[in-house]
Structure 1
Amino acid sequence: MDVARAAGVSRQTVSNAINAPHKLRADTLERVSTLIKEMGYRADQSARSLRSGTRQVIAYITPETDPANPNALMSGFLEAMVAAAGDAGYRILLVRPRPGQSEAQALEDIIAARTADAFLLSDVVDDDRRVDYLTEADFPFAVFGRTRPGAPQAWVDVDSVQAMIDMVGLLASHGHRQVAFLGTSAELPWLRHRAAGFRSGKRRFGMVGPEAYVDGPDEVVAVARGLLDRLPRPSALVLDDDWLAPGAYAAAQAEGLTVGVDVAVTGFNDMPYTRLLQPPLTTVRLPLRRIADALVNRLLQAIEEGVPPEAGLLLAGEPVLRPSVPSVR
């Protein structure tokens, strides 16, 4: 092979650069990849599939979303996954059950047709049936989120507990002692982790304050005003999700308070609109590309080596500091 001769490496090294870059040292991968681009080499994917018995396809069970109000966070996650999979020579196949079909049946169809080599799952909840089905089928998968003890630990997640502890610590460093938590009442694992992190941070930094939860957007302003009406008044509102921020800002205004001056507000997820709020919102960004890279590495390990991960992986959230957190005057 011309690329192998030019790079002074074996054919297998060139193959790894295309099909399994995670197996190569960074300097070797960079040298071989540069030559591949310069020489215009393209791998024969059909021959590769015949040799390996794989399709180089990862099936992603996409969560449902409203086309008129799409989930920007999951769109970003999908973009990161497509890029990470592409770097490893894999493609992402989007899958959703047909009308009247269960998720388990959709999984079964993909497995039976050998359409994909592995599954990617997100929005995993407690006792998730998709995890149970793929575990029983002994089919490779990885999870953005967490699986319960006893299930395969092929997961990658954000350390939401520590991210919230750090956010409370940021407020403490600005002199805040009276803090309130406004959360979403849905019983979802990642929301529980954020609430637990708030409580841990409050204890660690000697802070006090109430918690309140909402079922939907219509309640946010009223519930946030109820928190800000308390005596002593909280000097900070900690939100478990950015979608609560516009309502929290409106509640502060209704109480005659200015966010970033009289009261601090923090969020979680760094949605695109948070930088457009006045003042822009301090929040936590999810490291989507690092999450995607870690998930792809775990999937490749399961697909190509048949070795499932022994433990899940927690990645740190990224604090995004903006003017919504003032110092206590």
Structure 2
Amino acid sequence: MVSVRPTIAAVAAAAGVSRQTVSNALNAPERVKPDTLAKVLGHIDVLGYRPSVAARQMRTGRSQLLAMRIEPVRDGVNGVVGDRFLHALAEAAQAAGYRMLLCTAGSDVDEVAEYEQLLATMALDGVVLATTHTGDTRRAWLRDHGLAFMSFGRPWGDLAVAGASDSSWVDVDGAAGTAAATAELLRRGHRRIAYLGWPAGSDVGHDRRAGWLTTMAAAGRTDEAVEVTSEDDIEEALDVVEDLLRQRPTAIVCASDTLAVAASAVLNRRGLRPGPDVSVVGFDDTPAARALGIASVLQPLDQVAEACIAGLVAQLDGRPLPAEGVLLPPLLVPRTTLADPAP
């Protein structure tokens, strides 16, 4: 026996309301009284009603599809951060009735070409930009082509000034994260706090460095602010940390967990204990940091994803975005590598 798929009319009849009320309960619940909404949703659940995506697309003219470029995995430590964000983004999109399309591209120009293709062939509704950087031309292209977009990352450089009214972004305050780590180390009595960062050219790296440097300056410790850089690569960072330890820091704040893993490895190799002998703090709170007991700064990726999708849905619904982008605070997660300085 072939089962009959429940219809919106069946839900309306069971709940004793109009079909428009059922539609509002699904698409604009704020228009429905709370007791009526609860009754309608209860009947939807009992009957197993599922709205027709095809019908919704015909009615709204939307494909319910959002696209994002995925970055290549460069290492096995911080690569999981992108995976966590993508999973959170897919969940948030699905809860809002959208689906994510993933694409790869070797450059911003290639990425824009992918969006142009998806816009022409699949009536793409919007885009999530997963990275931002100085000189980024993608925002202007998306705006010129009428595509809704949100970015994980704020506008940088000249775009930060020219796009002061651009609020289509969500970011995590990296400077606040490294500042919190540095402040906690200072509170514990550390004075010679080193920073292991990325080479010049990374906007995110510059932001994280600024949190460490301004906190050291506020404490009057700039003379003891030791700084070295490495690519986000464990093998390269091992040699850099060896050189850094010759300057005898009591603590190392790192731009990433990749660098923190390298710092901890060198300390262990030298017979020093990460934490009791030299404190180490990473950034991103990856599974590797948790497994090794490395203190780290946690990015609220679930909140970032939810805010990105909420911003896209608001644009698609014709609702204005807030006057400013969303800058979320990170959380310092203390572990055994964050300790008082050795006596």
Match of 2:273 among 258, 261, 272: 258
Preserved CA contact (<8 Å) 1:209 1:234 = no
**Cα contact 1:73–1:269 (8 A) shared by 2:** yes
Tell me the matched-pair count: 324
SS in 1 for 2:49: coil
TM-score, scaled to structure 1: 0.87
Contact 1:241 1:269 in 2 (8 A): yes
- What residue identity is the alignment partner of 1:212? V
Q: 1:68 to 1:190 in 2, by over 3 A?
A: closer
Deviation at 1:127, TM superposition (A): 1.6
Matched with 2:6 is none
Aligned pair 1:62/2:78, yes or no?
Answer: no
| AA partner of residue 44 (structure 1) | S
For residues 157-176 of structure 1, what are the structure 2 equivalents within 5 Å?
157-176=171-190
Relative to structure 1, the CA distance from residue 246 to residue 49 in structure 2 (aligned partners, 3 Å threshold; closer, same or farther) is same
1:127-159 deviation per Cα after TM superposition (whole angstroms, max 9, x unaligned): 213223112223211100012233433000001
Match of 1:104 in 2: 112
- Is the aligned partner of 1:48 residue 2:62? no
Residue pairs, 1:131-280, within 5 angstroms: 131-147=139-155, 148-149=159-160, 150-151=162-163, 152-185=166-199, 187-207=201-221, 208-215=224-231, 216-230=233-247, 233-277=248-292, 280=293
Alpha-carbon distance in structure 2 between the residues aligned to 1:32 and 1:317: 39
What CA distance in whole angstroms lies between the structure 2 residues aligned with 1:297 and 1:169?
33
Deviation, 1:284, is 1.0
Which deviates the most, 312-321 or 251-260? Answer: 251-260
Q: Which moved more, 1:117-126 or 1:65-74?
A: 65-74
Go from structure 1 to structure 2 and tell me whether the alpha carbon gap of 1:256 and 1:20 turns closer, same or farther (over 3 Å shift).
farther
Range with greater deviation from structure 2 (289-298 or 8-17): 8-17
- Three-state SS of the structure 1 residue aligned to 2:317 is helix
Query: What is residue 3 of structure 2 aligned with on the other side?
Result: none
Gaps of 5+ in 2: 1-8
1:167-189 Cα shifts (integer Å, max 9, x gaps): 11111222211100001215222
Mapped to 1, the partners of 2:85 and 2:23 lie a distance apart of: 28
Whether the 8 Å contact between 1:18 and 1:89 is mirrored in structure 2 is no
Alignment of 1:124 onto 2:132:
yes
**CA apart distance, 1:114:** 4.2
Query: Partners in 1 of 2:144 and 2:251 — Cα distance?
Result: 47
Q: Structure 1: any 5+ residue segments left out of the alignment?
A: none
* In 2, Cα distance between equivalents of 1:24 and 1:252: 61
Does the 8 A contact of 1:20 with 1:89 survive in 2?
no
Q: CA deviation at 1:83?
A: 0.5
Residue number among 107, 111, 123 corresponding to 1:115 in the alignment: 123
Let me know the Cα RMSD of the aligned residues: 3.0
The whole-number CA distance in structure 2 between the counterparts of 1:134 and 1:160 is 26
CA distance in 1: counterparts of 2:337 and 2:145, whole angstroms: 49
Distance 1:313 1:202, change over 3 A: same
Q: Report the Cα distance in structure 1 between the residues aligned to 2:39 and 2:186, rounded to whole angstroms.
A: 48
Correspondence list, 1:301-320, <5 A: 301-305=314-318, 307-320=320-333
Q: Secondary structure at the match of 2:274?
A: coil
How has the CA–CA distance of structure 1 residues 229 and 66 changed in structure 2, closer, same or farther, with 3 Å as cutoff? Answer: closer
SS of 2:141's equivalent in the other structure is helix
Task: Give the TM-score taking structure 2 as reference length.
Answer: 0.84
Distance 1:306 1:222, change over 3 A: same
Shift in alpha-carbon separation, 1:310–1:257, aligned structure 2, 3 A: same
Whether contact under 8 Å (2:234, 2:261) holds in the other structure is no
- Which residue identity lines up with residue 170 of structure 2 in the other structure? V
Greater Rg by CA = 2
Alignment-derived partner of residue 290 in structure 1:
303
Question: 2:134 & 2:36 partners in 1: Cα distance?
Answer: 42
d(CA) in 2 for partners of 1:2, 1:238: 61
Which range moved further: 297-306 or 205-214? 205-214
